[in-house]
Amino acid sequence: MTLMLLLEMAAGANPQRTAIGSVGAGLSYEELHRRSMAAANLFRSGNAERVVLCDESSEAVPIAIFGAAAAGLPYVPLNYRLPDNELRSLATRAAPAIAIAGQAETERLCSVEGIEPVESCTLFEPDAKPLGSESPADPPDNSIDPDDIAVMLFTSGTTGAPKSAVLRHRHLQSYVFGSVEFDGAGEDEATLISVPTYHIAGVSAILSSVYAGRRIVQLPRFDADDWIDAVEREGITHAMVVPTMLARIVEALDRRGGDPILGLRVLSYGGGRMPLPVISRALDLFPITAFVNAYGLTETSSTVALLGPDEHRLAHYSDDPDEKRRLMSVGVPLPDIEVTIRDDTGQDLSAGRAGEIHVRGAQVAGEYLETGSTLDSDGWFPTHDSGFIDHGGYLFVQGRNDDIIIRGGENMSPGEIEDVLLTHPGIHDVAVIGIPSSDWGESILAAIVPVAETPSTVELQEFVKERMRSSRVPEHIVAVDKLPCNDTGKILRRVLRVRFSSLGDHTY
Amino acid sequence: MVELKPGAKFQSTVCSTQVIVVKGSGPADLCCGGSPMVGAGSQANDGMPADNASGGTLLGKRYTDEGGSIELLCTKAGPGSMTVGDSALDVAQAKTLPASD
């Protein structure tokens, strides 16, 4: 029982249907299966213990994922955008490994001990000399334990050194079996993958789409105009984006004249807080698209909760403040997932009360190679995200626990203040952090990216005071050119804290 | 009798049907085509499903017992149909979740 079973089933149901690429020009499921088996032979031929992928999106990614699964080796995607020293350091942690890499990355990795680079194109180019045997020789499928490691992902390290999150075959398979209907996609459906290869969604999207029988089209790297063009050219019906991508898509569509996109049936988003102005504008620019907000973590094999299409439209058009607010929620847990909110002492909290989000289910791994399992004795995984569940069962995620500001003994999440400031017409983007204060423990600082002229501090403080409790009013407001982000758009608050902590009246 | 546990794979002995256990644990009198199922890959299938157990299995469908304590996912289809003890396993309603990735 390995992830290869998903592809075997898909190839059994629709051998000739296009799995990856443009209709007629791409790889069929049968061809993807054959090439994955050949890749598995290649991966097993040396002394590699892992299969590293270090490249932009291409057909090599699904071939490497399924080939590694069939070979019984963990698949380890690396962030090719990292500087040389960091990339080499992560590669060393994956060695001994075969590394499927782009041309430039092949050169960057070849000096790393225990890494054997192979150029990505060898896995899929029709005229490339096959490295592995083309015949599917005795796949050791039954010898691979569901408890074996299928995927290792280095966490993005927004708070410290990257850790290797471990996902076993049983976790990812439970996720797919529990959330995707086999062969459920029509032959005309196609999904556009634009998240980076080293993001959990870059892995889960391939597994889900193959199992559903939905054609995959890949953008090598995200660009808003390329994304819009690909949606129209390739007849894309499904896509997943992170909030910064949607913000850029909305900007690009407005720049192009604001014509609505009608062909896209489902647009799912996740991986961070979605600013209300962005999602509201997107609902207008994609008037008949079904929006899905998915919440999940690398450690939970991707999605654990989602806000479905009908709830988006209901909330968008509702006058009821509780229903309208649900546009900012991540919806309800998947059928096979349990969610609870706990306080610092581990007590479950009732509806409406904020604490740490805990999740439980067969897809939840919650394990790192360095530190082992972080599940408690009953199988609950502490996400380190703070949030609450409303009286209707909708989950709201407020942000990372580490980002919570404690001012005068009162806990507040930066996100709630950011959401208010983002509705100010003079603010393009904002991040809120706590800085040291001897009076309050922490005081609130808002780093804003103004649209043009920077609004005055007094004006912005009044703006917040009219809409929130006075304890939420930022003491400090600073204008910046742009916010420090990692490449999936997560704000690096620790960078801001270092930069602005001197504005506090002491240091930590 | 086979020992069910999530992730375990079983095959029919009289048709091409194969399943993976999604839910359920412990011993079960699991049959396909009227004959006991065995661990996948442990033997070749041979013969024909019995007449009263030849409704067939469908690739990718989930099969459950009446109480919902057992759930099997069909990973290879075949002409036999499955039973646990005296009761037939039927196709479970597909969950309709929107694509999230």
**Which is more confidently placed, B100 or A307?**
A307
> Which 3 state secondary structure label does DSSP give A229?
helix
Q: Tell which of A373, A402, A431 closes a domain.
A: A402
User: Model confidence at A307, in pLDDT bands (50, 70, 90)?
Assistant: very high
pLDDT band at residue A160, thresholds of 50, 70 and 90?
A: low
Query: pLDDT of A238-269, one tens digit each?
Result: 999 998 899 999 999 999 999 999 999 999 99
Low-confidence ranges of chain B (pLDDT < 70): 94-95
What's the token pair of residue A102? 């782009």
Q: Where are the domains of chain B?
A: 2-91
In chain A, residues with a C-beta closer than 8 Å to the C-beta of B94 are: 181, 184
Longest dimension (CA), chain B: 43
Distance, CA of A123 to CA of A382 (rounded, Å): 39
Q: Does one domain contain both A41 and A149? A: yes
Residue A146: list chain B partners with CB under 8 A: 7
Question: In chain A, which residues have their Cβ closer than 8 Å to the Cβ of B7?
Answer: 1, 146, 170, 173
Asked which of A194-198, A271-275, B86-90 is least confident by mean pLDDT, the reply is A271-275
- B94 has a chain A CB within 8 A of its CB: yes
The C-alpha atoms of residue A294 and residue A447 are separated, in whole angstroms, by 27
Shared domain for A147 and A8, answered yes or no, is yes
Domain count, chain A: 3
What CA dihedral angle connects A114, A120, A125 and A128, to 10 degrees? -30
> Do A476 and A342 fall within a single domain?
no
In a domain, A315, yes or no: yes
A338, A368, A402 - which closes a domain = A402
- Both A422 and A392 in a single domain? no
Q: In chain A, pLDDT over 70 holds for what percent of residues? A: 95
Question: Residue A423 belongs to a domain with what CATH number?
Answer: 3.30.300.30
Listing DSSP states for A18-48 in one string gives EEESSTTTSEEHHHHHHHHHHHHHHHHHSS-
Q: Is the pLDDT confidence value at A46 over 70?
A: yes
Say what the pLDDT of residue B22 is: 87
Q: Chain A: residue nearest B76 by CA?
A: A9
Domain hosting residue A321, numbered range: 305-402
Residues A397 and A419 in one domain: no
Q: Do B100 and A270 touch (CB under 8 A)?
A: yes
- The reply to whether A363 and A491 lie within a common domain is no
pLDDT at A364 over 60: yes
Name the token pair of A19. Answer: 């799995």
Q: Give phi and psi for A241, each to the nearest 5.
A: -135, 160
In sequence order, the 6+-apart residues with CB closer than 8 A to the CB of B13 are: B32, B33, B35, B36, B37, B38, B43, B45, B46, B47
What is the arithmetic mean of pLDDT over A50-79?
96
Contact A412, A405 (CB under 8 A): yes
pLDDT-derived band at A507, boundaries 50, 70, 90: low
State the smallest CA–CA distance between residue A440 and chain B in angstroms. 41
Burial letters for A333-372: b for 16+ Cβ neighbours within 10 Å, e otherwise?
Answer: bbebbebebbeeeeeeeeeeebbbbbbbbbbbbbbbeeee
Starting at the edge strand that comes first in sequence, how are the strands of the sheet with B87-88 ordered?
B35-36, B30-32, B82-84, B87-88
My answer on whether A394 and A425 are in the same domain is: no
Residue A280 lies in a domain: no
Of the candidates B9, B95, B96, the beta carbon closest to that of A1 is on B9
Helix (H, G, I), strand (E, B) or coil at A414: helix
Whether the predicted pLDDT of A136 surpasses 50: no
- Note whether residue A357 is domain-resident: yes
Q: 3-state DSSP call for residue A122?
A: helix
Question: Token digits for B39?
Answer: 């661990």
Q: Read off the pLDDT band of A214 (50, 70, 90).
A: very high
The ipTM value here is 0.82
CA distance A458 to A464: 10
Q: Please tell me if residue B50 touches chain A, with a CB cutoff of 8 Å.
A: no
Tell me what the mean pLDDT of segment A87-94 comes to.
Answer: 95
Length of chain A: 508
pLDDT of residue A137: 47
What's residue A155's pLDDT?
A: 83
**Cβ contact A12–B94 (<8 Å):** no
CA distances from A269 to A168, A273, A392, A476, A480 (A): 25, 10, 22, 32, 27
Question: What pLDDT does B100 receive?
Answer: 87
Please choose, from the candidates A357, A345, A448, A346, the residue with its C-alpha nearest in 3D space to the C-alpha of residue A404.
A357
pLDDT at A128 over 50: no
Q: Answer yes or no: do A49 and A137 share one domain.
A: yes
Please indicate whether, in this complex, the C-beta atoms of B99 and A201 are within 8 angstroms of each other.
no
Assess whether A67 and A165 both reside in one domain: yes
Category of B100 on φ-ψ map: left (φ > 0), alpha (ψ -120 to 50) or beta:
alpha
**Neighboring chain B residues of A308 at a CB cutoff of 8 Å:** 98
Q: Indicate whether A133 pLDDT > 60.
A: no
Give the CATH number for residue A64.
3.40.50.980
Q: Residue A492: which pLDDT band, with cuts at 50, 70 and 90?
A: confident
- In a shared domain, residues A36 and A154: yes
For residues A393 and A408, membership in a common domain is answered with: no
Domain termination site, one of A140, A170, A200: A170
Handedness of CA A127, A131, A137, A138 (dihedral sign): negative
Q: Which of A33-42, A326-335, A338-347, A487-496 has the lowest mean pLDDT?
A: A487-496
Residue numbers in B near A12 (CB within 8 A): 59, 76-77
Identify the contact set of chain A against chain B, taking CB-CB distances under 8 A: 1, 5, 8-9, 12-13, 142, 146, 170, 173, 177-184, 191, 201, 204-205, 208, 212, 214, 238, 240, 266, 268, 270, 290, 292, 294, 296, 302-303, 306, 308-309, 334-335, 362
- At residue A496 the predicted structure's pLDDT band, cuts being 50, 70 and 90, is very high
A59 lies in a domain? yes
Of A9, A184, A268, the CB nearest to B100: A268
- Are A379 and A491 members of one domain? no
**Residues in chain B closer than 8 A to A179 (CB atoms):** 95, 97, 100
SS3 A333: strand
Q: Are strands B38-39 and A302-307 parallel, antiparallel or unpaired?
A: unpaired
Confidence of residue A324 (pLDDT cuts 50, 70, 90): confident
What average pLDDT is seen over chain A? 90
